[in-house]
């Protein structure tokens, strides 16, 4: 086509998905119906309590203790899983050994395993008469039916998020960067600390954020091993269910709003830290 033809009939920019407006409209409609509308309903329900009633509903010692346990333990589980997840991803990517495929598949078990089954298995294992619990009991350590049981359950269900987030990034990293650092005289520790870890930093932070969000909202696997003692080992999701059973829908929604706000702030902070780390690369 001549230059004059190009001026008369300019080529339209082609999108990968045809019908951009239709696709965008469907995306917004689906997002609103699945995510935004339920969240809006959650935010509206506590309005009937008023500001004073809302403050009273979320400031009782039992509610505050459950929120501290849920978010504090979820953050601790995310940090633990980030460290172990990085090591597991390193082993799966960098080494070849018998049973590697089986180990890779086992990582995804918490995804497929029903949470109630996981809770029963963990409580059986860490109970005072369990295989691990009986050994720990000899040293005066009790895991099941304590806040430590909550941590164990959260670490178990959140581990795949950290491994699966770091693993593909590490696979794309390759050995060339490490070999280049070695040729410049860097030791293995210097290579890991100054080259590998900074490049994996955004992926590690992403996995930590996903693990935190998953652990903070976990319910099924925790209630079997936590003991559910009010103000001691009672998580916030269990307290919400308890209030729903008491037909205190506004009070349950108030706790849900606090959990939503705290999770959003935490994820926003981690995402900001991830963006900052990515810009420094």
**d(C-alpha 57, C-alpha 36), whole Å:** 24
Asked if the structure places residue 2 within a domain, the reply is no
Q: Which of 143, 114, 145, 123 is nearest to 218 (CA)?
A: 114
Question: b or e along 37-75 (b: 16 or more beta carbons within 10 Å of the residue's beta carbon)?
Answer: eeeeebeebbeebeeeebeebbeeeebebbbebbbebbb
Asked if the structure places residue 3 within a domain, the reply is no
225 with 261, same domain?
Answer: yes
Asked if the structure places residue 55 within a domain, the reply is no
pLDDT at 220: 86
pLDDT at residue 246 greater than cutoff 70? yes
Asked if the structure places residue 128 within a domain, the reply is yes
pLDDT at 9: 45
pLDDT at 17: 58
218 with 94, same domain?
Answer: yes
pLDDT at residue 76 greater than cutoff 80? yes
Number of residues that make up the chain: 281
Report pLDDT digits (tens) over 132-183: 989 998 888 999 999 999 999 999 999 999 999 999 988 887 777 777 777 8
34 pLDDT tier (thresholds 50, 70, 90): confident
80 with 44, same domain?
Answer: no
168 Cβ neighbours under 8 A, 6+ residues apart: none
159 with 72, same domain?
Answer: yes
pLDDT at residue 15 greater than cutoff 60? no
**d(C-alpha 159, C-alpha 85), whole Å:** 6
90 with 219, same domain?
Answer: yes
90 with 221, same domain?
Answer: yes
For 134, the domain range is 60-279
pLDDT at 149: 93
Asked if the structure places residue 207 within a domain, the reply is yes
Q: Please check whether residue 228 is in contact with residue 150, taking contact to mean a CB–CB distance below 8 angstroms.
A: no
138 with 28, same domain?
Answer: no
Q: DSSP character for 47?
A: G
234 Cβ neighbours under 8 A, 6+ residues apart: 62, 65, 66, 69, 226, 228
68 with 33, same domain?
Answer: no
CATH of the domain at 169: 1.10.3720.10
Q: How many CB atoms lie within 10 A of CB 103?
A: 13
Q: Please check whether residue 46 is in contact with residue 253, taking contact to mean a CB–CB distance below 8 angstroms.
A: yes
pLDDT at 63: 93
Span 76-103, mean pLDDT? 91
Q: Which of 106, 109, 115 is nearest to 88 (CA)?
A: 106
102 with 240, same domain?
Answer: yes
Asked if the structure places residue 4 within a domain, the reply is no
Q: Please check whether residue 88 is in contact with residue 110, taking contact to mean a CB–CB distance below 8 angstroms.
A: no
11 pLDDT tier (thresholds 50, 70, 90): very low
Span 78-83, mean pLDDT? 94
| Cα distance from N-terminal residue to C-terminal residue, the chain | 45
Least confident of 72-81, 134-143, 213-222, 265-274: 265-274
What total of structural domains would you count in the chain? 2
pLDDT at 122: 92
Span 66-74, mean pLDDT? 94
pLDDT at 6: 47
16 with 95, same domain?
Answer: no
Provide the percentage of residues in the chain whose pLDDT is more than 70: 91
128 with 44, same domain?
Answer: no
Asked if the structure places residue 23 within a domain, the reply is yes
**d(C-alpha 11, C-alpha 211), whole Å:** 46
pLDDT at 238: 92
pLDDT at 12: 52
**d(C-alpha 169, C-alpha 208), whole Å:** 15
Span 227-251, mean pLDDT? 90
How high is the mean pLDDT of the chain? 85
pLDDT at 280: 64
| Residue 173 or 242, more confident | 242
pLDDT at 46: 83
**d(C-alpha 244, C-alpha 126), whole Å:** 30
Q: How many CB atoms lie within 10 A of CB 241?
A: 14
Phi, psi of 275 (to 5 degrees): -65, -40
Cα 108 versus chain centre, distance: 14
195 with 214, same domain?
Answer: yes
Report pLDDT digits (tens) over 90-131: 899 888 889 888 988 899 888 888 888 999 999 999 998 888
């Amino acid at each position: 086509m001549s230059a004059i033809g190009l001026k008369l009939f300019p080529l339209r920019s082609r999108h990968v998905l045809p019908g951009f407006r239709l696709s965008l409209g469907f995306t917004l409609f689906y997002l609103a119906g699945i995510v935004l509308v339920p969240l809006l309903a959650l935010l509206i329900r506590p309005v009937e309590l008023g500001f004073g009633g809302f403050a009273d509903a979320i400031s009782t010692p039992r509610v505050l203790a459950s929120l501290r346990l849920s978010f504090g333990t979820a953050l601790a589980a995310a940090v633990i899983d980030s460290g172990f997840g990085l090591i597991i991803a390193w082993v799966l990517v960098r080494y070849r050994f018998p049973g590697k495929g089986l180990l890779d598949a086992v990582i995804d078990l918490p995804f497929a395993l029903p949470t109630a089954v996981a809770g029963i298995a963990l409580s059986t294992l860490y109970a005072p008469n369990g295989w691990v619990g009986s050994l720990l009991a000899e040293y005066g350590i009790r895991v099941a039916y304590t806040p430590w049981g909550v941590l164990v359950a959260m670490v178990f269900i959140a581990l795949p998020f950290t491994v699966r987030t770091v693993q593909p990034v590490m696979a794309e990293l390759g050995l060339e960067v490490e070999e280049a650092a070695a040729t410049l005289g860097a030791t293995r520790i210097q290579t890991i600390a100054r080259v590998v870890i900074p490049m994996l930093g955004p992926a590690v932070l992403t996995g930590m954020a996903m693990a935190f969000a998953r652990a903070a909202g976990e319910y099924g696997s925790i209630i079997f091993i936590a003991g559910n003692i009010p103000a001691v080992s009672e998580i916030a999701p269990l307290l919400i269910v308890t209030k729903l059973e008491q037909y205190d829908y506004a009070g349950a929604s108030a706790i849900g709003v606090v959990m939503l706000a705290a999770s959003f702030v935490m994820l926003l902070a981690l995402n900001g830290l991830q963006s900052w780390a990515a810009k420094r690369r």
